[in-house]
Structure 1
Amino acid sequence: MRLLHTADFHAGRTLRGFDRTPEIRAALTEVADLAKSERADAVLVAGDLFDSVNPSAEAESAIYDFFLRLRELEIPSVAIAGNHDSANRLAGLSGLLGWVGVHLVAQMPASPQAAVRTITAKNGTDLVVAAFPFLSERRLVKYADVLGGDVGAWRQKYREGMGFFMGQFERSFRANAVNTLMLHATVEGSAPSGSERTFLFDLTNAYTVSPQQFPTSAQYVALGHVHKPQQPSEAPPAYYPGSLIQLDFGEAGERKGVNLVEVEPGRPAKVHFLPLSAGKPLKVVKSDLDDLDRKLAAVADFPGLLKVVVQVPGGATMPGLKDRVLRLLPQTLAIETEAVGEAAPASVERRDGLTPLQLFERYYRERRGVETLPSNLKAAFEEADRLAREEEVPGAGVNA
């Protein structure tokens, strides 16, 4: 049996105001073409189809066109919701997507066995997929923080819970079938991509799953969530294929692709990484003032998107720097200064002790490339955070 494993599409992603959806659409077309040329029996999509819970029409079109293309090729797929997806929204579409061959599990059902999907390949072999969508740990974190609890204990409870579900899944595996586990989570020991989106990384990577919790009878574990392609477990073999394109400058220079998995009942999977060519490459250019013009000229013909970091003495202001860079490199999306010398910060900016609002303000600056969070958005975030805390703490916000 031949499987194509992919994840982390993030349709609808913008980078410093630049819409990446056309590149993601092109990458998805390439994935569908690979599914055809590699004679895939099924495609596994391990979460984060979209970049936000309210994707644009263009983002939805890119995703649904991909699944329609697989339908035309008569290649079934199994997909799960990731932390960026709206589980409720996808759950509402699961029946409709089922008509085009998509086995979508957006929310964990009351019985774990109800999340198991079986696909019969053309050669008669059954593929059993334990589809484990993202389970949010944010409420546990906030609850523990508000009550002053031991967050480490909550993390252990989370890990035990994940282990319980995976143990339940293993009951559905069969000796005469290809048995796979698919989940959207952070596996202990996996390496992040270095993404700039520190706010979301903080919230969604608070807890980890141990590779030792994976069902031993699984022949392949299809992972999603971490954007850097890697193998965090050998027994059973577990892989992150990574994101489809270099989504932000933390992923600059990373090779992107999908995994081709060759597997048969009772035997470990053989995995081949298939690179993708779609998507603009990203590059970070770092220079001091004396060498700036030479460094900029050296990347004048770079075909992708650039981030320029200029080292300035003592953090001095540099009027006209943006115009100077954009005049030579119009493909530059981000221009930043980095203080060097006596006034330079002693260490990397820390996130410890920051409030959720402060983390969100930092995330918004990184995402949008602006200095100030709009007042209406700030007020909306504060209100949402207040309501979340009232909901999660028994008795909070209730009039006596």
Structure 2
Amino acid sequence: MSGLRARLLVSGDLHLGRYPSRVPPGDPALEIQAVVRALVDQAIERHVDAVILTGDVADQSNKYFEAFGVLERALHRLVEAGIPVVAVAGNHDHDVLGSVADAVGEGVTVLGRGETWASMPLEKNGREVLRLWGWSFAGPSVHTSPLDTFPGVSGDVPTVGLLHADLDVAGSRYAPVTADRLWETGASAWLLGHIHAPDLRTRDGRLILYPGSPQPLDPGEPGPHGAWLVDVAGDGTATAEAVPLATVRYDALSIDLGGAADATEIRERVAVGIREHADALRDENPALRRAVVRLTLRGRTPAYRSVEAVASELLDTVETAASGLTVSVDRVEERARPALDLDGLAEGSGPVATLAALAGRLEAGTPSEGDLALIRRSVEALQQARRARVFTPLGRSGRFPEDLREEAVLRLRRQTFRLLEEALAQTPTASAGASD
């Protein structure tokens, strides 16, 4: 890779006007504007050549006034520092972003307004070092690929493309494009918006990057979030590096309860697991203030009956402090099981054998037709509880909504183990050889 030609700080999908879920409201450190300020600080400290915004900077046009002031102040700071800002509009901010850019004036460019490709040079010391191409939404949806009208890469200067688009999602309403078509353009990098999870793909020194949202907004956006530094070299090759900025993080965390003797040990295992998780998060991103975790409790434990009680305690505990980070538990999934020899207990007949056989099938993921009927009834009950019109009646569709099916299996599994332990408690001869 030859010498550095240009350094870009890339972000997108800020969704100004929204606030992260599952955290206490009104905390200034958790607001999106705090992360926007940090992004600007990073751009100035790192002396980047441009800041790139890949769309959906504002959440909706009805958030215009809330987003306008925050974004205008950020853009003014960058322009005053001599850092140009280049953006494309997405499906959420197609009628907002342009007016904010116009209010700031020189130094801020929204490329490709009106769903028409446009380009601009990025210059250093009066010399063009990079050619930026961009295309912006003009409305809330676009069913065709913007690449159908892309003029193509030409000239000796490396090219970087900006798009708010859905990658490899055929039939999408949000400017569907394919990775193959993007690679075929020959651009050094394609910087995309729309997907909130960071996603970096590389090939032969070129890259396709979704920077993701700099601040996650709900548990469906787990893992690290922030901005990205993209370096383009003189030979046109490009590299990318994540820059952690988020003050909130959502994660799934699995804790092994294998061999835990009692409720006290279960609590200790959970506390250690959360503390170690918090340590790792703070080491990775010192800016973090809140972590929200969805716990899965696994493993074979003789204290199985205590697992549910501890899970309830965790959900009743609003938050805990670990490694200087405030952690809250959003959900607990109980996948632990009693320390029982299910195969041995399933031999013979009687309630213990029947329950052990059912538990074994559920553990192995091989339910019988009778088990499926139980699951089906559970799903129907869950459907009624949710009262959601989106679920088609099972009798007509013959299929399970996947999230409800999983929940029903977990409930059936948990109830089966409870009944099995109760049956063993009433059948001493069966329980004598039941433990592993």
Q: TM-score range by the shorter chain?
A: 0.5 to 0.7
The offset of 1:42, in angstroms, is 1.1
Matched, 1:129 2:149: no
The offset of 1:126, in angstroms, is 4.7
Contact in 2 for aligned 1:6/1:46 (Cα 8 Å): yes
- Matching residue within 158, 164, 168 for 1:184: 164
The offset of 1:21, in angstroms, is 6.8
Distance (Å, rounded) in 1 between the aligned partners of 2:296 and 2:7? 48
Question: Could you say if the C-alpha distance between residues 297 and 335 of structure 1 is closer, same or farther in structure 2, counting changes exceeding 3 Å?
Answer: same
Contact in 1 for aligned 2:35/2:214 (Cα 8 Å): yes
Residue in structure 2 matched with residue 32 of structure 1 by the alignment: 40
Q: How do 1:147-296 residues align onto structure 2 when only pairs under 5 Å count? A: 158=144, 161-166=145-150, 168=151, 170=152, 173-188=153-168, 208-214=176-182, 216-234=185-203, 236-252=206-222, 254-264=223-233, 267-284=235-252, 293-294=267-268
After superposition, the C-alpha distances for 1:329-376 in whole angstroms (9 at most, x for unaligned) are: 485373466799787679999x9xxxx9739xxxxxxxxxxxxxxxxx
Question: Could you say if the C-alpha distance between residues 162 and 59 of structure 1 is closer, same or farther in structure 2, counting changes exceeding 3 Å?
Answer: closer
Distance (Å, rounded) in 1 between the aligned partners of 2:174 and 2:376? 27
Distance (Å, rounded) in 2 between the aligned partners of 1:6 and 1:328? 30
Distance (Å, rounded) in 1 between the aligned partners of 2:175 and 2:379? 23
Distance (Å, rounded) in 1 between the aligned partners of 2:377 and 2:237? 48
Distance (Å, rounded) in 2 between the aligned partners of 1:346 and 1:36? 59
Distance (Å, rounded) in 2 between the aligned partners of 1:12 and 1:220? 29
Question: Could you say if the C-alpha distance between residues 309 and 34 of structure 1 is closer, same or farther in structure 2, counting changes exceeding 3 Å?
Answer: closer
> How does the TM-score come out when normalised to structure 1?
0.61
Q: How do 1:325-340 residues align onto structure 2 when only pairs under 5 Å count? A: 325-326=316-317, 329=320, 332=328, 334-335=330-331
Residue in structure 2 matched with residue 358 of structure 1 by the alignment: 390
Residue in structure 2 matched with residue 305 of structure 1 by the alignment: 291
Question: Could you say if the C-alpha distance between residues 334 and 89 of structure 1 is closer, same or farther in structure 2, counting changes exceeding 3 Å?
Answer: same
Distance (Å, rounded) in 1 between the aligned partners of 2:327 and 2:200? 34
1:281 is matched by which residue type in structure 2?
Answer: R
Matched, 1:69 2:70: no
Residue in structure 1 matched with residue 18 of structure 2 by the alignment: 13
2:159 is matched by which residue type in structure 1?
Answer: N
Distance (Å, rounded) in 2 between the aligned partners of 1:346 and 1:255? 39
Distance (Å, rounded) in 1 between the aligned partners of 2:88 and 2:379? 36
2:59 is matched by which residue type in structure 1?
Answer: D
Contact in 1 for aligned 2:319/2:327 (Cα 8 Å): no
Question: Could you say if the C-alpha distance between residues 61 and 345 of structure 1 is closer, same or farther in structure 2, counting changes exceeding 3 Å?
Answer: farther
Residue in structure 1 matched with residue 346 of structure 2 by the alignment: none
1:28 is matched by which residue type in structure 2?
Answer: V
Q: How many residues align?
A: 311
Residue in structure 2 matched with residue 103 of structure 1 by the alignment: 109
The offset of 1:174, in angstroms, is 4.2
Residue in structure 2 matched with residue 366 of structure 1 by the alignment: none
SS in 2 for 1:2: strand
Question: Could you say if the C-alpha distance between residues 322 and 108 of structure 1 is closer, same or farther in structure 2, counting changes exceeding 3 Å?
Answer: farther
After superposition, the C-alpha distances for 1:32-78 in whole angstroms (9 at most, x for unaligned) are: 23322332111111112123332275544332222122112110011
> How does the TM-score come out when normalised to structure 2?
0.57
- Between structure 1 and structure 2, the one with the greater Rg is 2
Contact in 1 for aligned 2:119/2:133 (Cα 8 Å): yes
1:92 is matched by which residue type in structure 2?
Answer: S
Stretches of structure 2 that go unaligned for 5 or more consecutive residues are 1-5, 279-288, 298-303, 321-325, 337-358, 360-370, 392-436
The offset of 1:180, in angstroms, is 1.5
SS in 2 for 1:44: strand
- Matching residue within 119, 122, 139 for 1:119: 122
Distance (Å, rounded) in 1 between the aligned partners of 2:332 and 2:53? 36
SS in 2 for 1:61: helix
Question: Could you say if the C-alpha distance between residues 309 and 41 of structure 1 is closer, same or farther in structure 2, counting changes exceeding 3 Å?
Answer: closer
Q: How big is the alpha-carbon RMSD for the aligned residues of Structure 1 and Structure 2?
A: 4.5
Contact in 2 for aligned 1:307/1:332 (Cα 8 Å): yes
The offset of 1:182, in angstroms, is 0.5
SS in 2 for 1:249: coil
SS in 2 for 1:50: coil
Contact in 2 for aligned 1:87/1:106 (Cα 8 Å): no
Report the identity percentage.
Answer: 22
Question: Could you say if the C-alpha distance between residues 120 and 268 of structure 1 is closer, same or farther in structure 2, counting changes exceeding 3 Å?
Answer: closer
After superposition, the C-alpha distances for 1:166-203 in whole angstroms (9 at most, x for unaligned) are: 2x3x2xx44143321101112229xxxxxxxxxxxx99
Considering Cα pairs closer than 8 Å and 6+ residues apart, tell me whether 1 or 2 has the greater RCO.
1
Distance (Å, rounded) in 1 between the aligned partners of 2:245 and 2:195? 20
